[in-house]
Amino acid sequence: MKFLVVDDEKDVEMLFRQKFRKEIRSGAVELEFAFSGQEALDILENTQPPEVMYIFSDINMPGMTGLQLLEKVKEKFPEIQVSMISAYGDTENHDKAMSSGAKEFFIKPIDFNTLRNEVEQMLKEQT
């Protein structure tokens, strides 16, 4: 299953690769990274149908925010699940994300055990 992680902070790639090392090695998970909302849309639009099944996106990014990305993804690719990540656990962002179709809302620092459970559940649903 292919996941797309969208975050303007480049060190997130190393963190996700480290935390999902076992799943990547076994071939259960493939990770792709985008460092802006527009780059994420470009990745999705370059393959028809998109290979990405699940997106983890930061909310606060320069240019297109994660919430704007969520709305565009849900409009163009409604079958792709999207979870939002925020450094701030504010109710406004949470409520906006959930009402726009987000599957989950994670607060930084990310609890990777909870995130791994989410991924494992999705993998079970796909089999």
For the chain, the domains span 2-126
Segment 52-66 shows an average pLDDT of 96
In the CATH hierarchy, which fold is given to the domain comprising 2-126?
A: Rossmann fold (3.40.50)
Kindly tell me if the per-residue pLDDT of 64 is higher than 70.
yes
The set of residues, in sequence order, having a beta carbon less than 8 Å from that of 126 and lying 6+ positions away, is 1, 53
Name the helix (H) or strand (E) containing 12.
Answer: helix 11-19
Beta bridge partners of 31: 3
pTM of the model: 0.94
Number of H helices, E strands in the chain: 6, 5
Give the model's confidence band at 127: pLDDT under 50 very low, under 70 low, under 90 confident, else very high: low
Length of the chain: 127
Cβ atoms 12, 66 nearer than 8 A: no
Cβ atoms 23, 29 nearer than 8 A: yes
Kindly tell me if the per-residue pLDDT of 67 is higher than 70.
yes
CA gap 43, 99 in Å, rounded:
25
